[in-house]
Chains A and B, each alone.
Chain A
Amino acid sequence: GAVVSQHPSRVICKSGTSVKIECRSLDFQATTMFWYRQFPKQSLMLMATSNEGSKATYEQGVEKDKFLINHASLTLSTLTVTSAHPEDSSFYICSGNNPGTENYGYTFGSGTRLTVV
């Protein structure tokens, strides 16, 4: 089945530094990648939608200059948390989608636990 590989699974960084999270679709072309954020014991909240080769569309309240999303190819999308602060500590999950295929569905990465100290 479709697989999205997300790295790193865990990262601890100092306040003020930047962190890059990668999501790769291994056996399908993710024309669209959705990025979610999940706080402890809460649901997933959509941060942004990125289509290959286009600028990402951010949800209201999400700072596009802080959460940089790149989707330069059909198999790779990245989320960079710039100048991270403790309030950015969260669980980040990507989801790749290729609705043009027969197996319509959303394939999730395994998530990245970001801790900013």
Chain B
Amino acid sequence: AQSVTQLGSHVSVSEGALVLLRCNYSSSVPPYLFWYVQYPNQGLQLLLKYTTGATLVKGINGFEAEFKKSETSFHLTKPSAHMSDAAEYFCAVSARGNTPLVFGKGTRLSVIA
């Protein structure tokens, strides 16, 4: 079975500061890992995903995440926050194969001018 823990339900950063959203996972098999962003009353937009290969994954809008198997982590970072990054972020995991995503509880990112 898979599970995801997102540390911090709410993270607040200043515009231009580093963004770090934490995600730890549990999986009985090698996982597929995802980060999604959700704006109010909208669906989910994929930021990036790790399936195989390079453990440092670059996504859209300047975000990246690193898969660390030894730490069972997949933290999301962005060097410089922008006001438009304010949203809800979800980390998700799936087993390899046609299985549903299991989501963390989400982290709301606020960006202060």
* Residues of chain A whose beta carbon lies under 8 Å from any beta carbon of chain B: 6, 31-32, 34, 42-44, 46, 49, 91, 93, 95, 97, 99, 104-106, 108-111, 113
**Interface CB pairs A-B, < 8 A, 14:** A32-B98, A42-B106, A43-B90, A43-B104, A43-B105, A44-B90, A46-B102, A93-B44, A95-B100, A97-B98, A106-B34, A106-B101, A109-B43, A113-B41
B 86-113 binary contact with A (CB < 8 Å = 1; else 0) = 0000100010011011111110000000
* Residues of chain B whose beta carbon lies under 8 Å from any beta carbon of chain A: 32, 34, 36, 41-46, 49, 51, 90, 94, 97-98, 100-106
Q: Contacts of A95 on B, CB cut-off 8 Å?
A: 100-101
CA distance A105 to B49 in the complex (A): 8
Q: A93-B44, A105-B46, A110-B42 are in contact. Are A44 and B97 (CB under 8 A)?
A: no
CA distance A110 to B44 in the complex (A): 7
Q: Contacts of B103 on A, CB cut-off 8 Å?
A: 43-44
CA distance A115 to B85 in the complex (A): 28
B43 touches A104 (CB 8 A): no
